[in-house]
Amino acid sequence: MNAKQKTIICKTAEYTKKTLAHDATGHDWLHVYRVWTNARQIGKSTKADMFTVELAALLHDIADWKFHNGDISVGVNKAKQWLQKLNVDPQTIAHVAQIVQEISFKGAKVKNKIDTIEGQVVQDADRLDALGAIGIARTFAYGGSKGRQIYNPRVKPVLHKAAKSYFKSAGPTINHFHEKLLLLKDLMHTKSGKHIARQRHQFMEDFLNRFNLEVEGCM
Distance CA 155, CA 174 (A): 10
For residue 2, count other CB atoms closer than 10 A to its CB: 8
Of 43, 33, 48, 54, the residue nearest 193 (C-alpha):
43
Q: Which CATH class is domain 3-215?
A: mainly alpha
Close Cβ partners of 13 (under 8 Å, ≥ 6 residues apart): 36, 58
For residue 66, count other CB atoms closer than 10 A to its CB: 14
Sequential pLDDT tens for the chain (219 residues): 899 999 999 999 999 999 998 887 878 999 999 999 999 999 988 999 999 999 999 999 887 666 556 567 788 899 999 999 999 999 999 999 999 999 987 766 677 888 899 999 999 999 999 999 999 999 999 999 889 999 999 999 888 776 676 777 778 999 999 999 999 999 999 999 999 999 999 999 999 999 999 988 765
For residue 165, count other CB atoms closer than 10 A to its CB: 13
Residue ranges per structural domain of the chain: 3-215
